[in-house]
Amino acid sequence: MRAFVITGPGAAAVQDVGEPVAGPGDVVVAVERAGVCGTDAEFYSGHMTYLHTGQAAYPVRIGHEWCGTVASVGVGVDPGWVGKRVTGDTMLGCGHCARCLGGRQHLCADRFEIGIRNGFPGALAQLMAVPVRSLFVLPDSVDATLGALVEPGANALRAVRAADLAPGQRVLVAGPGTIGLLAAMIAEAQGAEVHLLGEHGSDRVWTADDLPDLRWDAVIDASTGTGVPARAVDLVEPGGRVVFIGIAAHPSPVDSRALVLKDVTATGVLSGSGGLAGTIKLYASGAVDPRPLVAATVGLADAATVLSGQRLPGWGTGPKIHIDPRE
């Protein structure tokens, strides 16, 4: 089969690789659509932290935002899965440690991360093997574009849940990338007054220079700015909530004294685990439709162009690019 393989910083190609076989408890998925994000771009550039901590190594087969159809199943898996349209969790815990048994497999010390951690092959390929326990069935109302937006949407949903907003409360979302815009959409669908700190995507968009002096009941930091976390704590209303989901390339310190003296609740969000089912429901109901965020859908041959940050003529302005591995 064809797969996109990153072999080193700035070096990648579509290669012919062996087809996966479904092991016990696994299924093989025919991938229909896969998204790429900043993490994937960091693998391509060589800046991804896991490359320097030993949790990842070249060659890397990326792709953790995906949807497809179950093509075959392994031993112990109900054959009824074959033909089902699915997406799945990126985080694959060991299944037997205290964190996994407590429903926190995304924090398992020995976890695999599809297309990211410990060499688990990702979705920029025609076929992909994954554990059946990680799967979520997609209803007919969730098309391929929405299906590949479930994983980032689940991250955003967890961030909005952590902000704990009541209808009518005001939230500032910093970082107008895919996660930030998804968080804004979800918060708005739940009745919050949403403002964006950035340059894209909403009527209430502000820059660092013209941000109004308003009461911010919660701040969601979906940016990669090193100074944004501290500013988020400074901006939030005393007793409010700050949610950190963006990751800066360099340390982004927050003064714990500011948290204490303002009685602020600060939460970090890692992954969409726990938010996947809820995101599918939001998309299926039509309450949130993030498809305009996808600027283009291209084939595997264009993946390197996407990862290098280039935009080709005819592509839209949205922050997300999707890959169709069948092309």
pLDDT tens, position by position, 191-224 = 999 999 986 545 788 888 889 999 999 999 999 9
Residue 178 near residue 38, CB atoms below 8 Å: no
Residue 216 pairs with which residues in a beta bridge?
236
Angle formed by the axes of helices 150-163 and 178-189, nearest 10°? 60
Q: What is the pLDDT of residue 109?
A: 95
Q: What is the mean pLDDT of the chain?
A: 96
Q: What is the pLDDT of residue 200?
A: 52
**Strand pairing of 26-36 and 11-16?**
unpaired
Q: What structural domains does the chain harbor?
A: 2-149+290-324 (3.90.180.10), 153-268 (3.40.50.720)
Name the percent of the chain lying above pLDDT 90: 93
Q: Judging by beta carbons within 10 Å of its beta carbon (0-12, 13-18, 19+), is residue 160 exposed, middle or buried?
A: buried
Is the pLDDT assigned to residue 280 strictly greater than 60? yes
266 membership: H or E segment, kind and range: strand 265-268
Is the pLDDT assigned to residue 97 strictly greater than 70? yes
Is the pLDDT assigned to residue 85 strictly greater than 70? yes
Least confident among 57-66, 179-188, 196-205, 249-258? 196-205
Tell me the two tokens of residue 200: 């894209």
Tell me the two tokens of residue 209: 């220079």
This prediction has a pTM of 0.95
Checking phi first, is residue 162 left (phi over 0); if not, alpha (psi -120 to 50) or beta?
A: alpha
- Three-state secondary structure call for residue 202: coil
Of 247, 245, 243, 248, nearest in space to 232 by CA? 243
Is the pLDDT assigned to residue 51 strictly greater than 60? yes
